[in-house]
Amino acid sequence: MEEESQWSGIENGIDDPEELQVIYRTLDSYQQYAKVAHFQCTHVRRQAFYALPQAHWQRLAAPPFNYLETLDKVDDAIESNADLARIIFKTGLEMFHVGVPSESGGELKLPAQWNGSAKPHDMDKARSTIRQFYRDWSAEGASEREACFGPVMRAIAAEQKARGPDHPPLKVLVPGAGLGRLVFELCLNGYETEGNEISYHQLLASSYILNCCPRAGQHTVYPWIHTFSNHQSRANHLRGYAVPDVHCATELAQAEQKRPVGSMSMSAADFLCLYAQEDRAATYDVVAAVFFLDTAPNLIRYLETILHCLKPGGILVNIGPLLWHFEGRVWDRDEHDHEHEDGEGGAGHDTSGIADPGNFELTDDEVMALVADVGFEIVSRETGVEAPYILDTQSMLQTTYKASTWVARKPAATAAG
């Protein structure tokens, strides 16, 4: 399936029945977020709490613990997250033209047969996408963005400078675009930028935040409330973050007064299926792969596709760990997506559409050897780059990747494709 449009949404009709099922389940997962989160986070805990000996739960209900008050506050935080989930659901119904009028004739709703259709892994993706807003669209997530976007942005800027002042803005492809922040930042810096994403959870959320969100700080997300483990303080457990940290249209308009800005577009498709096509040959100056290459069951196919769609002399800029997403999942691909950071769905790149048979896992050194073997020239490489992923810096459990970042060039003499 391929749907392409500006970031104003994916508005063409969807005819594939299986694709429609995925869309309906995705929408339903956002619709059900509040119900499921209340049950999993607080309802079952209240049941377990009152199962304690009476003297024990009474002690925990009193100061300084106030455990029941904590559960009430978690419920409030869930509702704040749910406000964002509901608006993503609402704008998604409009974007895909799949809603039906409610009985009152007011807001659109899901067709009745799709209510409750979301599967557990759909719900996990909705939850992890809401958590990802902290990383991509909060002011507090800026340090994480700098860690992974910074090397990529600097490499692209150096490439633009090296091509001289008269060279037009580089055309950049961002596979696994997620919530769209890197695509937005590249556009802001003057590049012609195309994002690619297969996950409808990510597509719905990014379309809302880039196009429909009315102002900066419109929502408050509480990313740490879904688990009660490893919190140093209740205040941090219940900490909320304003999102988005910028209003995209305003930011672009202000930037345009000072310098030319670029363009943004989006492809909603399987990366391999779309970008291996002949009409994508020698199209892009840069492919920016951020926490993406390890989503490949067959990295050779990824690298060959990137080589195909790069112009001669174009560069692949990569940063990320090697959490091979198909390791141990050979026969259960449809149930998993791109997970980073405690299996909480991290980068959000849905791999369920990738139909390549077989898979393998390489070390970082072996990846570099394969990059060269496929036909790239290695320009630079740095290892051990600290790259946290949706990291609660106050948590008693700290997980930070030591990522690899490198630049590889398609030889200028290589024939297109």
At residue 105, the pLDDT reads: 65
Q: What pLDDT is attached to residue 349?
A: 42
Per-residue model confidence (pLDDT) at position 271:
96
Residues 152, 288 contacting (CB under 8 angstroms): yes
- Count CB-CB contacts under 10 A for residue 167: 12
What's the mean pLDDT when you consider all of the chain?
Answer: 90
pLDDT at 96: 86
What's residue 350's pLDDT? 46
Domains defined along the chain, listed by start? 16-118 (no CATH), 141-327+353-416 (3.40.50.150)
Give residue 355's pLDDT. Answer: 54
Going from the C-alpha of 249 to that of each of 51, 280, 311, 387, the distances in angstroms are 52, 29, 31, 29
Per-residue model confidence (pLDDT) at position 102: 76
Nearest CA among 179, 209, 186 for reference residue 390: 179
Q: Does 64 sit behind a cis peptide bond, omega within 30 degrees of 0 on the bond before it?
A: yes
Going 275 to 281 to 283 to 289, the CA torsion angle's sign is: positive
User: What are the structure tokens assigned to 263, written together?
Assistant: 């363009």
Question: For residue 153, what are its two tokens?
Answer: 């942005």
pLDDT at 329: 65
Tens-digit pLDDT string for the chain (417 aa): 344 434 444 444 566 788 899 999 999 999 999 999 999 999 999 999 999 999 999 999 999 999 999 999 999 999 999 999 999 999 999 988 888 877 766 788 899 999 999 999 999 999 999 999 999 999 999 999 999 999 999 999 999 999 999 999 999 999 999 999 999 999 999 999 999 999 999 999 999 999 999 999 999 999 999 999 999 999 999 999 999 999 999 999 999 999 999 999 999 999 999 999 999 999 999 999 999 999 999 999 999 999 999 999 999 999 999 999 999 764 443 433 444 444 343 334 444 445 568 899 999 999 999 999 999 999 999 999 999 999 999 999 999 999 999 999 999 974 444
What is the SS3 assignment for 161-187?
Answer: HHCCCCCCCCEEEEECCCCCHHHHHHH
pLDDT digits (tens, 9 = 90+) for 81-101: 999 999 999 999 998 888 887
* Owner of token pair 């979301």: 118
